[in-house]
Amino acid sequence: MIDSHAHIQGKEYAGETAAVIERARVAGVEQIIAVGGAGDMSSNSEAVALADSFVNIYATVGMHPHDAKDVGPDELQKLKDLALHPKVIAVGETGLDYYYNHSPREVQRRVFTQFIHMARATELPIVVHERDAASDGAELLRSEGEGQLRGVIHCFTGNYEAARAYLDLGFCISFTGIITFKSAGALRDVARRVPLERMLVETDSPYLTPVPHRGKRNEPAFVRLVAETIAAVKGLTFEEVACTTTRNARRLFGI
């Protein structure tokens, strides 16, 4: 398996990172993508440093839409420079979050557009965070990507119509531990309809810990529970889901 989206470079794992990576390995997680951009700029350099330290870790660089208001020319240039590192395999996370609106929506759209352009310029895929903004998210990916963009909608929680719009753009859809929650029946129905060949699995560690570990800090070893739930929903074996989502991640990110 590959945990395609985790924030294990964060302070939540201070002093434990090697142990967390080893537990993931024992659970069958061969590679982990440490995603930058959650919280502040330092999460990006920390993700790259972690990828430098472990052969099975890769990194992405970007800024979460919550913090789009803090992204100016200097920050963009620093991220462009980091994106040249050989173990940086995507731009992101970036996108739109109209649920919290921690940054003004017009600022979110402007910064998301800048990251779309960065992904095109670097020829890297893009990791998209989108919440309650499916129409604007798909439209910006379509208009600014101009058919030259590939990527993943991470932590997908929308309806099938939103998923279909992203699939039509050639994007993958990634599911987290949310899919294991009792209240997530509608999301499991979406997962049933999304082709396995377009799916990724992730933990979004340290957040969104799957059942039966809810209430605890999440970690990449638990991505197995996401894959097991998808297998149950789609009437497949765990091995089918693990192998196919791993192949999908490797193809998308070039790892």
C-alpha 137/C-alpha 160 separation (Å) is: 15
C-alpha 31/C-alpha 180 separation (Å) is: 22
Q: Confirm if 6 and 33 have CB atoms less than 8 A apart.
A: yes
Predicted pLDDT of residue 214: 96
What are the structure tokens assigned to 182, written together? 């009792």
Query: Could you give the number of structural domains in the chain?
Result: 1
Q: What is the helix (H) or strand (E) element at residue 211, kind and residue range?
A: none
C-alpha 11/C-alpha 123 separation (Å) is: 31
- pLDDT at residue 250 above 90? yes
Mean predicted confidence (pLDDT) in 179-193 = 98
Tens digit of pLDDT for each residue in 214-240? 999 999 999 999 999 999 999 999 999
C-alpha 62/C-alpha 43 separation (Å) is: 9
**Residue type for 61, please?**
V
Q: Confirm if 199 and 248 have CB atoms less than 8 A apart.
A: yes
Sheet hosting strand 151-153, strand order edge to edge: 2-6, 31-35, 57-61, 88-97, 126-131, 151-153, 172-175, 199-201
The CATH number assigned to the domain holding 142 equals 3.20.20.140
**pTM, two decimal places:** 0.97
Q: Confirm if 166 and 215 have CB atoms less than 8 A apart.
A: no
Q: How many CA atoms lie within 13 A of 137 on its CB side?
A: 28
Mean predicted confidence (pLDDT) in 65-87 = 97
Q: In sequence order, what E strands does 147-218 have? A: 151-153, 172-175, 199-201
Q: Chain-centre distance of CA 52, in angstroms?
A: 20
Strand 151-153 vs strand 172-175: parallel, antiparallel, or unpaired? Answer: parallel
- pLDDT at residue 40 above 90? no
Alpha helices in the chain (DSSP H): 17-26, 42-53, 73-82, 105-122, 134-145, 160-168, 185-193, 223-234, 238-253
- pLDDT at residue 160 above 90? yes
pLDDT category at 38 given cuts 50, 70, 90 is: confident
The boundaries of the domain holding residue 107 are: 2-253
